[in-house]
């Protein structure tokens, strides 16, 4: 057997190695696209009722320059300063994210549905000095900001860059009917003012100088994740990591992505590493058009986008594909222009994949990766025989193997921990050297997932990280939820496990030992909603006299997972998909 058996399975137009990265940093990649595709539409934001706005490549380039100048010349940030961006998919997101990178600053992607507790942790841990936040969520700031290093807040309307009349209608609807725009009581700068200040100073600014000290090894983003276990921490992704993974994906897709001709529907949130690299960076590099959906919940929010735009690509998680297959409008009128779909974030269920192909008449393939790998490590090649239930083969310039507990490489068809190395693997965890050392060993990223490789070099996940729960493609780490539960008066011990869920793949189930009299289930869930994002909130709570423990007092979650569910699952909350995609 050859050392890298998967090379034989690469498409004819795929090189096994991407070679040396020519770009010095991400902004160079972005400017190249702006130069090649300047007049083409880069981003279109589509609201549920079909209202929309668009930006061309040259407009995104100019506006992001103004953001970079604002951050450097007005706010006074320098290379390496962290900037948090907290907003759903909208036209402002690429403008701001690209501007942060052009300023030589570090992008800190933040879920807009985070609670005050989660926002405080991420902003304080990252040391973010500036924050761009969608104004719908600014009511959380009075409690958050005093406990962080954030000095500058820029508020962003969801309708920014829409035609004036359309933007006015959306704004009036939010204020008068939905009442979704809170009164902002902290010092802040509206986005239009920040852009104006950047524009005023643009002529005298030297944007190239901002990047003089930025290279491929410089940190570009802190992408927060729980890693294998524990509290959320920032994976340090360098410019080289993100450029390399973008090029690896494009190399793997070969001729299936046509320069300047693709339209990708982006329903996954851009703050999530999957959509950030694959949709935002990948399709932008190839001159594609990103159709942005602020929230795909309910699935009918995607209907106008499919009807009005020639969608050629769709990326998503199993939950999204399954939801669309249960929409009558989608099944009866599948998108005619669709060429292919890519799944990630969670396992793509075989019945869903089979039905998707039957309904759309197009291929759907699954990939695998982690936040720590920018994220893509493996992908199923398009064309030929598609292997459902497999996570594919390593992308170019990537080595993947299964190892025993002592690190010894295993033979094909033997199960062991999946480890990988390549130019997309993170630098480490932000300010956490011990956890970095436990995850990166001799250049290999230890995923914590158990897998096996077949003789052709295709990998299959056998078991996930022991305790990780995946709700609609989003990681829920039991320790975080348990810490929230035990912080509530009256709860002495808590254990959290995943329970099968037809709609979200898994849902969170909590077992608690409480004082007598104990709080009711509704009180416990209300406490969790106050401190956790919606997808992390337990679907149900079961009170126990005691929890199973080992002889050293460690709670045995495995025994709880193996128990039959004693309570009927309640309906999935309407906020689950909204929380992960908003």
3-state secondary structure 331-381: HHCCCCCCCEEEECCCCCCHHHHHHHHHHHCCCEEEEEECHHHCCEEEECC
Instruction: Give the pLDDT band of residue 272 (cuts 50, 70, 90).
Output: very high
Residue 576 scores a pLDDT above 60: no
Residue 140 scores a pLDDT above 90: yes
* Interval 200-237: pLDDT, tens: 999 999 999 999 999 999 999 999 986 444 578 999 99
With contact defined as beta carbons under 8 Å apart, do 428 and 236 qualify? yes
Q: Which of 159-173, 352-366, 498-512, 550-564 has the lowest mean pLDDT?
A: 550-564
State whether the Cα torsion 224-226-231-235 is positive or negative: negative
Instruction: Give the pLDDT band of residue 554 (cuts 50, 70, 90).
Output: low
- Tell me what pLDDT residue 460 has: 92
386 half-sphere exposure, CB direction, 13 A CA radius: 19
SS3 421: strand
- Tell me what pLDDT residue 345 has: 82
State how far the alpha carbon of 79 is from the alpha carbons of 220, 304, 557, in Å: 10, 41, 44
- Tell me what pLDDT residue 386 has: 80
Q: Which CATH architecture has domain 469-581?
A: 2-Layer Sandwich (3.30)
Tell me which residue has tokens 């709700």: 471
- Tell me what pLDDT residue 462 has: 82
Instruction: Report the share of the chain in percent with pLDDT over 90.
Output: 76
Q: What is the mean pLDDT of the chain?
A: 91
Does CATH number 3.10.28.10 belong to domain 51-214?
A: no
Q: d(Cα 367, Cα 560) in Å, to the nearest integer? A: 30
SS3 189: strand
Q: d(Cα 158, Cα 87) in Å, to the nearest integer? A: 8
State how far the alpha carbon of 408 is from the alpha carbons of 414, 415, 449, 457, 559, in Å: 12, 12, 16, 18, 29
Give the pLDDT mean for 534-545: 94
Q: Which of 75-84, 291-300, 422-431, 564-573 has the lowest mean pLDDT?
A: 564-573
Give the pLDDT mean for 106-132: 96
- Tell me what pLDDT residue 553 has: 52
Domain boundaries, the chain: 51-214, 469-581
Q: Which segments within 466-519 are labelled E, that is strand?
A: 469-471, 474-476, 491-501, 505-514
- Tell me what pLDDT residue 464 has: 65
Instruction: Give the pLDDT band of residue 468 (cuts 50, 70, 90).
Output: confident
The pTM of the full predicted model, rounded to 2 decimals, is 0.87
SS3 146: helix
Instruction: Give the pLDDT band of residue 567 (cuts 50, 70, 90).
Output: very low
Instruction: Give the pLDDT band of residue 562 (cuts 50, 70, 90).
Output: confident
Rounded to 5°, angle at Cα 8 from 7 and 11: 85
Give the pLDDT mean for 261-277: 96
* Interval 34-75: pLDDT, tens: 999 999 999 999 999 999 999 999 999 999 999 999 999 999
- Tell me what pLDDT residue 466 has: 67
- Tell me what pLDDT residue 33 has: 98
- Tell me what pLDDT residue 250 has: 96
- The residue among 467 and 418 whose pLDDT is bigger is 418
Query: Which residues, 6 or more positions from 115, have their beta carbon under 8 angstroms from its beta carbon?
Result: 140, 530, 531, 532, 533
- Tell me what pLDDT residue 569 has: 42
In order, the DSSP letters of 14-30 are --S---S---SSHHHHH
């Amino acid at each position: 057997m050859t050392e890298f058996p998967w090379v034989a399975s690469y498409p004819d137009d795929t090189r096994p190695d991407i070679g040396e990265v020519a770009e010095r940093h991400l902004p160079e990649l972005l400017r190249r696209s702006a130069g090649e595709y300047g007049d083409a539409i880069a981003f279109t934001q589509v609201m549920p009722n079909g209202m929309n706005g668009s930006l061309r490549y040259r407009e995104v380039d100019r506006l992001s320059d103004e953001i970079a100048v604002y951050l450097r010349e007005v706010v006074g940030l320098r290379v390496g300063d962290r900037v948090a961006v907290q907003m759903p998919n909208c036209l402002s997101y690429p403008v701001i994210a690209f501007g942060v990178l052009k300023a030589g600053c570090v992008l800190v992607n933040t879920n807009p549905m985070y609670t005050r507790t989660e926002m405080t942790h991420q902003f304080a841990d990252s040391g973010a000095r500036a924050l761009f936040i969608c104004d719908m969520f600014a009511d959380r700031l009075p409690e958050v900001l005093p406990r962080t290093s954030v000095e500058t807040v820029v508020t962003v309307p969801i309708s920014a860059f829409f035609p004036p009349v359309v933007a006015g209608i959306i704004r009036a609807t939010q204020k008068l009917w939905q009442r979704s725009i809170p009164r902002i009581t902290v010092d802040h700068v509206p986005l239009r003012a920040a852009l104006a200040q950047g524009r005023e100073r643009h002529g005298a600014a030297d944007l190239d100088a901002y990047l003089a000290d930025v290279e491929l090894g410089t940190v570009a983003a802190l992408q927060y994740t729980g890693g294998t276990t524990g509290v959320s921490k920032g994976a340090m992704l360098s410019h080289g990591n993100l450029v390399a993974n973008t090029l690896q994906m494009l190399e793997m897709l070969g001729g299936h992505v046509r320069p300047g001709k693709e339209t990708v529907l982006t329903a996954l949130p851009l703050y999530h590493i999957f959509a950030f690299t694959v949709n935002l960076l990948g399709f932008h590099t190839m001159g594609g058009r990103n159709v942005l959906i602020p929230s795909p919940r309910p699935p009918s929010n995607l209907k106008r986008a499919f009807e009005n735009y020639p969608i050629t690509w769709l990326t998503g998680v199993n939950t999204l594909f399954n939801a669309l297959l249960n929409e009558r409008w989608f099944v009866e009128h599948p998108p005619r222009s669709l060429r292919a779909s890519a799944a990630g974030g969670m396992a793509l269920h075989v019945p869903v994949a089979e039905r998707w192909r039957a309904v759309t008449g197009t291929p759907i393939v699954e990939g695998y990766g982690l936040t720590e790998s920018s994220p893509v490590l493996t992908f199923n090649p398009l064309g030929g025989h598609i292997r459902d239930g497999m996570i594919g083969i390593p992308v170019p310039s990537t080595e993947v193997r299964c190892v025993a507990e002592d690190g010894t490489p295993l033979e094909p068809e033997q199960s062991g921990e999946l480890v990988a190395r390549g130019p997309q693997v993170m630098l480490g965890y932000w300010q956490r050297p011990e956890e970095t050392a436990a995850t990166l060993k001799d250049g290999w990223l230890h995923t914590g997932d158990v897998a096996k490789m077949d003789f052709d070099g295709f990998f299959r996940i056998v078991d996930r990280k022991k305790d990780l729960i995946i709700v609609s493609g989003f990681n829920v780490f039991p320790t975080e939820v348990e810490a929230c539960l035990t912080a509530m008066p009256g709860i002495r011990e808590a254990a959290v496990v995943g329970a099968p869920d037809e709609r979200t793949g898994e849902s969170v189930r909590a077992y608690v030992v409480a004082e007598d009299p104990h709080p009711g289930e509704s009180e416990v869930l209300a406490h969790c909603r106050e401190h956790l994002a919606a997808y992390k909130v337990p679907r149900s709570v079961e009170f126990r006299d005691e929890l199973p423990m080992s002889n050293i007092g460690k709670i045995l979650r495995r025994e709880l997972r193996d128990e039959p569910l004693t309570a009927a699952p309640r309906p999935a909350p309407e906020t689950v998909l909204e929380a992960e995609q908003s």
